[in-house]
Amino acid sequence: MTAELRIYKQPEWIYTESCGVMRMDAYVVGKVIRQLREKRGKSQELLSGLAGIGRTHLSAIERGTRRPTLETFALIAWALEMKPSALMAEIEQELSKE
């Protein structure tokens, strides 16, 4: 028996019925991280240092050219002084606007 794959595209995220996976748009993830970093008055150098990642890696995430792993996502959230779930909520809120 072959499972049918149905893909529903919603604003900036994709939900696949067969496996129930949501994939965030890398640009929106980076945009929210950049906005929160700037709101907190932190430079890329400082935030990347606090998160233990390279500045160029953070820059690529903020531009949407790289997707953070779950571990990197959590490290960035803690460096922004918030829980990863709170960062995800901010991203979901931004997605609902678009």
Instruction: Look up residue 69 and give its two tokens.
Output: 């792993």
- Provide the pLDDT for residue 9: 42
Q: Calculate helix-pair angle for 70-79, 44-51, nearest 10 degrees.
A: 120
Give the domain ranges of the chain.
25-97
Residue of higher predicted confidence among 7 and 52: 52
Q: What is the pLDDT of residues 33-88, one digit of tens each?
A: 999 999 999 999 999 999 999 999 999 999 999 999 999 999 999 999 999 999 99
Residue of higher predicted confidence among 15 and 31: 31
Quote the strand ranges of 1-98, DSSP E. Answer: 7-10, 13-16, 21-24
Q: What is the pLDDT of residues 12-28, one digit of tens each?
A: 444 444 454 455 689 99
φ, ψ at 60 (rounded to 5°) = -65, -35
Write the CATH number of the domain with boundaries 25-97: 1.10.260.40
SS3 65: coil
Q: What is the dihedral of CA 77, 28, 54, 50, to 10 degrees?
A: -20
> Are 98 and 14 within 8 A, CB to CB?
no
